[in-house]
Amino acid sequence: MNESLEYIMTRFKLIFALFTSLLLASISYGSPTSLQSQFEGLKSKKANDRIEAVQAIASTGDAQASTVLNQMLDGKLYYVKATGQFVYIEKGEGKQYTAYSALTNEIIGDFKKSKLQKIKVNNKIRGEIRNALAGLQLNAKDEDTRLTAVRNLRDALESELLPTLTAKLDTETSPDVLEAITTTIAAIQLKHGDLSTQTSAAKQLESSDDPKVLVLLNQTKTSAKDKTLIATIDKSIEAIESRQELYGVAENLFFGLSLGSVLLLAAIGLAITFGVMGVINMAHGEMMMLGAYTTFGIQWLFPNLIDYSLFIAIPAAFLVSGLVGILIERTVIRHLYGRPLETLLATFGISLILQQAIRTLVSPLNQSVENPSWMSGSLEITESFALTYNRLYIIIFSVIIFFALMMLLKKSLFGLQMRAVTQNRAMANSMGIRSSWVDALTFGLGSGVAGIAGVALSQITNVGPNLGQNYIIDSFMVVVFGGVGNLWGTLVAAMGLGVVNKLIEPWAGAVIAKIIVLVFIILFIQRRPRGLFALKGRAVEG
């Protein structure tokens, strides 16, 4: 009896184990099989059968379902006549087409089009596919994916999407996605609804910041005949346009601060060499260029470390530009102190030499520097206003460099020696300060900071031999306007000129804006020759 019971239990365990194995196998591999089983309906000549197949494919929830439906929407979904296997195709060589498995995306082989049968799609089926794709994207786990999907639906505004969107209102948890769904529903109702629905939808769209909504309102107004509807649309358009004007001003302010940050980084090094040392360095722009090319070189050497390249490039650019600056000071500038015209001509010649060296050794063409992933994209404030991360980081970076340099000049021994040599060279020498090396290190510091400015510039513009020439004149304007030798003046002048320039540009143009700013600075310097923040005391003696 016990042996019989033990035998039954053993058989039961084996059957249970087999059942469990089959169940797990079906879970592991059931997705493609489940998806594949829905394909057969697509072969039907009846449109309703194909619509049912589309709905069935979407209902599987398979990750590949979205790819299949998109290929079908684009007219690229076929099946091989000989085997019945579903594929999507891309044009190959000659009359051949490369076929990819609709289930796995693997290459099946090359076929002539006569060996394939296309899955036909009409307008009704296209609408059903869009509806199915919307449902798949709206149910994605990622909130940003759902938000983008809802906003993309405003391109077509198909009335068939209303049931899907309305049902989603009950299950969506994200406030941003809910707001986007509500706006999209209102937009569809404005396009396809009756008069009362359109009027209600137009009023609801007043709070939207999407430019597509503004276009839709203007289009609806053109075809509308009811006065109440037209008045409601006008009110919504006025509200949206007034907000967009404010966003435009805010955007120009942001671009102005961004330009000001670039000018600050470019001018802060010049404020040291020109403002503190009195050296007119026309090669200052080429120090920025060297910093930008150092960034390019770091990315070329370490292509797999793009996200970390800037952390390597910043100190590297400072060292490269700083050492070149020290070399220039030791070999050329030190022989020309007190001779501004000769210094200007010599540094101008050095700038031409450096430009030609880059053209010869690297390339005369502009080079593209890739942004790290954490500097790509933008911070969305509204649908009409976003702050790009690269410019936002440059603003923060420039302020950090400014205060770091201030601390170096005010609190360090080198800063004390530099100020001592600047104010009274003979007295500094008598106190044991090697003024010649202080001069070299000061010039190197200014050049090194210019190299750091080049790193920042590489993130917002192409890197080329003429990069520095675009900023050298503006840098001198910032230093003179702010007050020669005054770093606080450089900060205020850079930000002020950047913002004013960008606020004038929309109505005057970029060239006229620069001319207006230049004329203003000329008139201002005539009234205040020492700039906004003039140095006082022994700093201006002699």
- Residue, of 157 and 499, whose pLDDT is higher: 499
In a domain? residue 303 = yes
Give the position of tokens 């079908």.
72
Domain match, 354 and 261 both = yes
Residue 206 domain-assigned (yes or no): yes
Give the distance between the most distant pair of CA atoms in the chain.
Answer: 119
Considering the domain architecture, whether residues 354 and 437 belong to the same structural domain is answered as yes
Tens of pLDDT, residue by residue over 305-345, are 888 999 999 999 999 999 999 999 999 988 888 788 888 89
Are 528 and 437 contained in the same domain? yes
* 9 found inside a domain: no
Q: Which pLDDT score, from 0 to 100, does residue 95 have? A: 77
Q: Where does a domain end: 75, 105, 139?
A: 139
Do 186 and 104 belong to one domain? no
3-state secondary structure string, 219-283? HHHHHCCCHHHHHHHHHHHHHHHHHHHHHHHHHHHHHHHHHHHHHHHHHHHHHHHHHHCCCCCCC
Write out the H or E segment, with its range, that includes residue 100.
Answer: strand 96-101
d(CA 390, CA 457): 10
157 and 132 fall within a common domain = no
Task: Specify whether the backbone of 385 is left (phi greater than 0), alpha (psi in -120 to 50) or beta.
Answer: beta
- Closest residue by Cα to residue 246 from 382, 97, 407, 145: 382
Same domain? For 164 and 60 the reply is no
| Domain total of the chain | 3
| pLDDT averaged over every residue in the chain | 83
Tell me: do 133 and 171 sit in the same domain. no
- Residues 219 and 350 grouped into a single domain: no
Q: Pick from 105, 139, 173: which residue ends a domain?
A: 139
What average pLDDT score do residues 82-104 get?
83
DSSP code for 116 = E
pLDDT in tens, 361-419: 988 888 888 888 888 888 888 888 889 999 999 999 999 999 999 899 888 888 888 87
Q: Provide the domain limits for residue 165.
A: 151-225
Domain contains 353 = yes
How is residue 38 written in tokens? 């829905």
| Residue 336: predicted pLDDT | 85
For the segment 170-229, what is each residue's pLDDT rounded down to a tens digit? 888 888 888 888 888 888 888 888 888 888 988 998 888 888 889 889 988 888 888 898
Q: Which of 104-113, 275-284, 391-400, 522-531 comes out lowest in average pLDDT?
A: 275-284
What proportion of the chain, given as a percentage, has pLDDT over 90? 20
Residues 324 and 290: beta-carbon distance below 8 Å: yes
pLDDT-based confidence at residue 92 (cuts at 50, 70, 90): confident
115 and 195 co-located in one domain: no
Whether residues 347 and 305 fall in one domain: yes
DSSP 135-192: HHHHT-S-HHHHHHHHHHGGGT--GGGHHHHHHHTTT---HHHHHHHHHHHHHHHHHH
pLDDT number for residue 28:
37
> Is residue 5 included in any domain, yes or no?
no
Examine the pLDDT at 512 and tell me if it is beyond 80. yes
In a domain, 471, yes or no: yes
First to last CA, the chain: 119
The whole-model pTM stands at 0.73
529 shares a domain with 477:
yes
Average pLDDT value for residue range 286-291: 93
Residue 230 located in a structural domain? no
The reply to whether 27 falls in a domain is no
Q: How many C-beta atoms lie closer than 10 Å to residue 425's C-beta?
A: 17
- Predicted confidence (pLDDT) per residue in 64-81, tens digit: 877 888 888 888 888 888
157 and 283 in a single domain? The answer is: no
The percent of residues above 70 in pLDDT, for the chain, comes to 91
- Domain closes at, from 139, 166, 195: 139
What is the mean pLDDT of the segment spanning 514-538? 78
Contacts of 461 (CB under 8 A, 6+ apart): 467
pLDDT of residue 61: 67
Task: Please provide residue 112's backbone torsions phi and psi, each rounded to the nearest 5 degrees.
Answer: -80, 150
Which CATH number characterizes residue 536's domain? 1.10.3470
